[in-house]
Amino acid sequence: MVTDAECKRKTYIPMLDELLGGGMPAGTSILFTAMPGVTSEVFGYQIIAERMRNETDVCFIYTNTRTPVEIEHVFQRYGWDLRSFLDSDQAFFIDSISPMMGMPAIGKYSIDDFRESEKTITNAISDIAGGVAVIEDISTLLDSIGVDPTFDLIERLNKEARSNDVNMIYMFTRWNYEKVMLDRLSDIVDCEIKLFSVEEKVIYRQVFAITKSNWIKTSGAKIFFEVLEPGGVRIFIPKLLVTGPYNAGKTTFTKAIAPDTVSVERQTFELFPTTVGLDIGHIDYKGFSADVFGTPGQERFDLLLEPLGREAIGTFIVIDSTKPETFVRAKEMIRMCRTEAIPKVIIANKQDLPNALSPDEIKKRMALWEDVPIVPVSAANRQGLDEALDILFSLIYRI
Amino acid sequence: MIPKIRSGIAGFDNLTGGLPENTMTLVYGPPKTGKSIFCYQFLRQSVEEGDLCTYLMTDYSLSQLEQQMMAFNWFIHDYISNKRLYVIDTASGSVGAIQKETRNMMVSFPQNPTDIASKLIQQLQSVYQQAQRFRSILDSSTTLFAFNSPILIIRVLKSYTMRIKMAGGTGLITYTEGSVEPQIETMLKATVDNIIHLDGEELTIEAMAGLKHEKASYRISDEGIVVQ
């Protein structure tokens, strides 16, 4: 018996095959929609590089943004050998860029005028039955030949690909197009994968998520990735940082959001047990998976903060709502973690105590230089936790 | 009071108080009116003040930039070797020269704005970790328009401007007047905050926060642009 997963064709992008239920059914199309600035070309290249090597697929790349020579160079940087596949005709180019730049075209096919792309690409698809085609970049087509002709082209190519069991991989940079157009584009492909970023003033981390699939229910999982040269797409396990002044309840909070948290700690014989090492846990929440790091609050451990802050994608700053005298220290810790550049939420902890200040009062007392959300929480009573997580994740995943 | 930074052109700074910080300025005009020299002076001021600077160059390589500035007795060698300058060079890219890249020296291609954007982001990450304010130069958008559909480049410049400003930068974009349709030119002007026109004799501030339409005559000497 053939299982469902065995019928699928692997993309060889880590995590993506698991999320797609094994890979892509033969003859389907995938659109990679990338926010400008996010590394995207590697996805298409990795799929064909790995499939040519592991599955002996025949593949082609249609390009209107890079010359074939540049593409070969990019493959080399990622550690994939394109040359020998080109030499053995297992791979070829449709060169739509060189003629435009006044250079001789390289490859089996070339296109002088974008408007005449259809016949050439259709022929190429029938040449590679059972293989994979990469088309880059849709945004250049949209702005050169217009929206409707581009959509017509994609629909005809998809039809040809279905009858030849060819998988189409479309690369698309999402500049400021209208939403209506983006939705229409999404409608004419079988699967859409969005590449976007976690940012606060600058792009900080890159994420991919399947936002549409005709063959599997999308889970909403967001996968952090990094791109290595050589190596290609690698999964990155994001870290959330929990920081704050001494005795604000960081460990209690960390354990409340990540129940399996291990405290790498040594109990000190002080009035309160406190963390002198790290609290390390893991959280799976609404499709989001991250390691959680709780830091110690005492000043003698400040050296730890910077390296942790550099790795983090989001921060909870836990404060004791009954102790306004510690707020200055909280601000200092925000600075030391270098968390200015990542999304953060202030956890106004110990709201169950009678003398706790309200979030508004805390905002006034802290005199924050920017608008950081403050969430009332009682970590001990597990109150306000979901709200805190929702707010931080919504900041992280602003698309 | 709008915080200003020095452009590096003394007469211009006296006239305007400098360029408004954390804004994008379009410097445009016919060929050979001093647009690139405006950029060199802006870069020289960055060297002077120890600012970081990102530089997207489409018509010359880094060594050509160094030579052109040397002609004015402006030296950027130390500034480059101290990694204060972040270059994306699409001029070498367009002639197929492939060289080793570093964070400070990247090569891209005029017809591949996706690649330019992704390299810019990598540089802005480095810059932002070191400084909350910096300068940026794009000389010249004309080449990008020539290699791509102009409407695509308007999208690219919008994204570019947003990225630079979000990271805390103050930037210049140059453009050769008349090289795209008037309609695109209007969209380009709507993308930036300030507009400076150079015609070879007169410098006109067409738009700048807090300023009226100012005009001044200028000439190009061996000390660069001199505004009278």
A303 or A265, greater pLDDT? A303
Q: What is the mean pLDDT of residues A166-179?
A: 97
Separation in Å, CA B25 to CA A350, B20, B136, B137, B157: 49, 9, 10, 10, 12
Question: For residue A186, is pLDDT > 70?
Answer: yes
Residue with tokens 């445009």: B28
Whole-angstrom distance, CA of residue B28 vs CA of residue B191: 14
Is the dihedral angle over the CA atoms A240, A12, A127, A29 positive or is it negative?
Answer: negative
Inter-chain touch B149–A137, beta carbons under 8 Å: no
Q: Provide, as residue numbers in chain B, all residues whose Cβ is less than 8 Å from the Cβ of A40.
A: 114, 118
Interface test with A, best of B121, B124, B128, B187 (most A CBs within 10 A): B121
Q: How high is the pLDDT of residue B96? A: 58
Q: Provide, as residue numbers in chain A, all residues whose Cβ is less than 8 Å from the Cβ of B121.
A: 37-38, 197, 202-203
Separation in Å, CA B10 to CA A13, A117, A210, B5: 55, 53, 54, 12
Whole-angstrom distance, CA of residue B116 vs CA of residue A202: 16
Of residues A70, A73, A143, nearest to B151 (C-beta): A143
Confidence of residue A5 (pLDDT cuts 50, 70, 90): low
DSSP state of A200: E
The number of C-beta contacts closer than 8 angstroms across A and B is 87
Q: How high is the pLDDT of residue A198? A: 81
A335 or A282, greater pLDDT? A282
CA distance, residue B180 to nearest chain A CA (Å): 15
Confidence of residue A399 (pLDDT cuts 50, 70, 90): very low
Confidence of residue A340 (pLDDT cuts 50, 70, 90): low
CA distance, residue A67 to nearest chain B CA (Å): 9
Question: Between helices A138-145 and B150-166, what is the axis angle to 10°?
Answer: 130
β strands within A77-213, DSSP E: 91-95, 109-110, 132-136, 167-173, 191-200, 202-213
Q: Regarding the domain delimited by B4-227, which CATH topology (the fold level of the hierarchy) does it fall under?
A: Rossmann fold (3.40.50)
Is residue A30 a contact partner of residue A169, using CB atoms and an 8 Å limit?
Answer: yes
Interface test with B, best of A75, A200, A202, A206 (most B CBs within 10 A): A202
Report the Cα A288 to chain-centroid distance in Å. Answer: 11
Q: Cis peptide leading into A137, omega within 30 of 0?
A: yes
Between A275-289, A354-368, B118-132, the lowest mean confidence (pLDDT) is in A275-289
Choose among A310, A344, A342, A349: nearest CA to A326. A349
| Buried b / exposed e along B95-133 (16+ C-beta atoms within 10 A) | eeeeeebeebbbbbbbbbbbbbbbbbbbbbbbbbeeeee
Question: For residue A269, is pLDDT > 60?
Answer: no
Helix (H) or strand (E) holding B159: helix B150-166
Segment B3-29, tens digit of pLDDT: 999 999 999 999 999 999 999 999 999
Report the Cα A320 to chain-centroid distance in Å. Answer: 34
Of residues A66, A143, A202, nearest to B149 (C-beta): A143
Q: What is the mean pLDDT of residues B179-201?
A: 97
- What residues have CB less than 8 Å from A138, skipping those under 6 apart? A31, A150, A154, A170, A171, A172, A173, A185
Of residues A137, A176, A202, nearest to B124 (C-beta): A202
Question: For residue A271, is pLDDT > 70?
Answer: no
Question: For residue A275, is pLDDT > 70?
Answer: no
Question: Between helices A147-163 and A179-187, what is the axis angle to 10°?
Answer: 10
Is residue A153 a contact partner of residue A161, using CB atoms and an 8 Å limit?
Answer: no
Mean pLDDT across chain A, nearest whole number? Answer: 89
Mean pLDDT across chain B, nearest whole number? Answer: 95
φ, ψ at B204 (rounded to 5°)? -120, 130
Q: Where are the domains of chain B?
A: 4-227
B131 or A339, greater pLDDT? B131
Q: Where are the domains of chain A?
A: 4-235, 239-396
Between A264-278, A287-301, B56-70, B175-189, the lowest mean confidence (pLDDT) is in A264-278
Q: Provide, as residue numbers in chain B, all residues whose Cβ is less than 8 Å from the Cβ of A182.
A: none
Q: Provide, as residue numbers in chain B, all residues whose Cβ is less than 8 Å from the Cβ of A139.
A: 114, 152, 155
Interface test with B, best of A113, A201, A225, A369 (most B CBs within 10 A): A201
Q: How high is the pLDDT of residue A267? A: 56
Residues of A near B (Cβ–Cβ under 8 Å) read 34, 36-41, 64-67, 69-70, 73, 97, 100-101, 137, 139-140, 143-144, 173, 175-177, 197, 201-204, 338, 341
Q: Provide, as residue numbers in chain A, all residues whose Cβ is less than 8 Å from the Cβ of B109.
A: 65-67, 70
Is residue B88 a contact partner of residue B123, using CB atoms and an 8 Å limit?
Answer: yes
Separation in Å, CA B105 to CA A191, B84, B89, B101, B213: 37, 11, 8, 6, 38
Inter-chain touch B96–A67, beta carbons under 8 Å: yes
pTM of the model: 0.88
Confidence of residue A297 (pLDDT cuts 50, 70, 90): confident
Interface test with B, best of A39, A78, A203, A229 (most B CBs within 10 A): A203
CA distance, residue B80 to nearest chain A CA (Å): 23
Whole-angstrom distance, CA of residue B87 vs CA of residue B108: 10
Give the class (CATH, top level) of A4-235.
alpha beta
Q: Provide, as residue numbers in chain B, all residues whose Cβ is less than 8 Å from the Cβ of A34.
A: 114
Segment A65-78, tens digit of pLDDT: 999 999 999 999 99
Q: Specify the CATH number for A239-396; select among 3.20.20.210, 3.40.50.12280, 3.40.50.300, 3.10.180.10.
A: 3.40.50.300
3-state helix, strand, coil in chain A (%, to 5): 35, 25, 35
Interface test with A, best of B118, B122, B158, B161 (most A CBs within 10 A): B118
Tokens representing residue A52 in the block: 């040519």
β strands within A15-145, DSSP E: 29-34, 59-63, 91-95, 109-110, 132-136
A 10 A CB-CB count for B58 gives 25
Confidence of residue A219 (pLDDT cuts 50, 70, 90): confident
Inter-chain touch B152–A175, beta carbons under 8 Å: yes
Q: How high is the pLDDT of residue A272? A: 58
Whole-angstrom distance, CA of residue B218 vs CA of residue B228: 6
Segment A37-61, tens digit of pLDDT: 999 999 999 999 999 999 999 999 9
φ, ψ at A2 (rounded to 5°)? -95, 125
Of residues A39, A137, A140, nearest to B118 (C-beta): A39
Whole-angstrom distance, CA of residue A267 vs CA of residue A29: 57
Q: Under DSSP, is residue A383 helix (H, G, I), strand (E, B) or coil? A: strand
* Percent of all residues in chain A with a pLDDT value above 70, rounded to a whole number: 93
Q: Bridge partners of A215?
A: none
Q: What is the mean pLDDT of residues A212-235?
A: 92
